[in-house]
Structure 1
Amino acid sequence: MFRNQYDTDVTTFSPHGRIFQMEYAMEAVKQGAATVGLCSCTHAVLVASNKPASELSSFQRKVFRVADHVGVAFSGLTADGRVLTKFLRNECINHAFVYEAQLPVSRLALRLADKAQVCTQRSWKRPYGVGLLVAGLDETGPHLYYNCPSGNYFEYQAFAIGSRSQAAKTFLERKFEGFNKYTPEQLIKDALSAIKETLQGEKLTSSNCTVAIVGRIEDGTAEPFQVVDTKRIQAIIDSMEAAEEAPAEPSSMQEEDKGSDAAPMDI
Structure 2
Amino acid sequence: EYALELVKRGAPVSGVLTKEGVTLAAVEILQTSLEDRRFSKKLFEFDTHVAAVIAGNSPDARVLVREARYSCQGHRMTYDEPIGIESLVSGIGDVLQQYTQNAGVRPFGVSMIVAGVDASGPRLITTDPSGSYRGYKAAALGVNSEKGREILEKKYKENITLEEAITLSIEALKAAYTNSLKPENVNAAIIPIETKSFKKLTEEEVKEHF
The TM-score with structure 2 as length reference comes to 0.93
Q: Is the 8 A contact 1:42 1:141 kept in 2?
A: no
2:197 counterpart SS class: strand
Instruction: Tell me how far apart the structure 1 counterparts of residues 204 and 32 of structure 2 sit (CA, whole Å).
Output: 24
Instruction: Tell me how far apart the structure 2 counterparts of residues 135 and 207 of structure 1 sit (CA, whole Å).
Output: 22
Q: How does 1:86-97 map to 2 (within 5 A)?
A: 86-97=66-77
For 1:13, the equivalent position in structure 2 comes to: none
For 2:209, the equivalent position in structure 1 comes to: 236
Instruction: Tell me how far apart the structure 2 counterparts of residues 26 and 199 of structure 1 sit (CA, whole Å).
Output: 19
C-alpha offsets along residues 140-186 of structure 1, whole Å, 9 cap, x if unaligned? 1110111100111111111101011111111111122x1x3122110
- What is the CA distance between 1:206 and its match in structure 2? 2.0
- What is the CA distance between 1:80 and its match in structure 2? 0.8
Instruction: Tell me how far apart the structure 1 counterparts of residues 92 and 153 of structure 2 sit (CA, whole Å).
Output: 27
Q: Is the 8 A contact 2:112 2:128 kept in 1?
A: yes
Question: Match of 2:163, as an amino acid?
Answer: E
For 2:192, the equivalent position in structure 1 comes to: 215
User: Any unmatched runs of 5+ in structure 1?
Assistant: 1-22, 238-267
Q: Deviating runs (4+, > 6 A) in structure 1?
A: none
For 2:23, the equivalent position in structure 1 comes to: 45
Q: Quote the RMSD (CA, aligned, Å).
A: 1.6
The structure with the larger Rg is: 1
Question: Match of 2:208, as an amino acid?
Answer: A
The TM-score with structure 1 as length reference comes to 0.74
Count matched residues: 207
Q: Is the 8 A contact 2:143 2:177 kept in 1?
A: no
For 2:114, the equivalent position in structure 1 comes to: 134
Structure with higher RCO (Cα < 8 A, 6+ apart) = 2
For 2:53, the equivalent position in structure 1 comes to: 73
| Residue 227 in structure 1 maps to residue 203 in structure 2 | no
Question: Match of 1:28, as an amino acid?
Answer: L
Question: Match of 1:214, as an amino acid?
Answer: I
Percentage identity across paired residues of the two chains: 30
| Residue 152 in structure 1 maps to residue 132 in structure 2 | yes
For 2:183, the equivalent position in structure 1 comes to: 206
More strand by share: 2
Q: Is the 8 A contact 2:189 2:198 kept in 1?
A: yes
Question: Match of 1:231, as an amino acid?
Answer: E
For 2:9, the equivalent position in structure 1 comes to: 31
